Amino acid sequence: MLTLEDQTLRGVLTEMIAELGHAPQTRDLATRAGLSPDQTEAGLRRLHDAHALLLHPGTSRPWAVHPFALSPGSCWAETARGGYWANCLYCAFGIAAALRCDAVIATRVAGEAEPASYAIKGGRAPDTADVFHLSTPVASWWDNVIHACASFQPFHREGDIDAWCARHALPKGAVLTVPALWAFAKDWYGEYLTRPWRKRSPDEVRALFKRHGLVSPFWQV
């Protein structure tokens, strides 16, 4: 069970990553959060256990604090505030949404050889006919969240996805247009840096999904 203190810690950590471009030292995070280092490490472990962030195995060192990746991810979001790694295009859009700024996101089509770039300007979705495929269903995301994010990739055409899934022995999941992905990312991450961070309840998650028409079995929580 997360305490109010734990959720406040998560919000402070997110703010510091946005400022620094990387995870802060534990002592610096503790100072900003008004906690001792021991309290901070215990809170980070509770957040990890609650799937509110991911720590490096056996440590209290953040690995992924969504939407931010803290080791090289498949996407790079370049903004006026600096550059940030993200583990998928959804998270990269989430960075632009959370920071409320323009961003140019560099990634690769299908996670393979072809480079791709998506620009968020003035809060508007990129002008593209590309689609975004999420291979791993929601209920399995936190079984291995790094793998789940890695299985989410952009494609030029929905018709390319079946062959990609067969080539990599990955399941076919849900497909969103890039504008739909941007709208979803804005709704999920848009207030991460403007309001105190709170973990959504399962009912709140389902309601958010429903607002975006994400109601197939793939999206079951």
pLDDT in tens, the chain (221 residues): 899 999 999 999 999 999 999 999 999 999 999 999 999 999 999 999 999 999 999 999 999 999 999 999 999 999 999 999 999 999 999 999 999 999 999 999 999 999 999 999 999 999 999 999 999 999 999 999 999 999 999 999 999 999 999 999 999 999 999 999 999 999 999 999 998 999 999 999 999 999 999 999 999 99
Q: Give the ranges where 124-191 is alpha helix by DSSP (H).
A: 145-150, 161-168, 178-189
Q: What structural domains and CATH numbers belong to the chain? A: 4-65 (1.10.10.10), 73-187 (3.30.450.410)
State the Cα–Cα distance between residues 39 and 12, nearest whole angstrom.
Answer: 14
For 59-70, how does the pLDDT look when each residue is reduced to its tens digit (9 = 90+)?
A: 999 999 999 999
**Prediction pTM value:** 0.96
How would you class 75 by CB atoms within 10 Å of its CB: exposed for 0-12, middle for 13-18, buried for 19 or more?
buried
Q: What is the pLDDT of residue 80?
A: 94
Asked if 88 contacts 152 with a C-beta cutoff of 8 angstroms, the reply is: yes
Asked if 52 contacts 199 with a C-beta cutoff of 8 angstroms, the reply is: yes
C-alpha 104 chain-centroid distance: 16
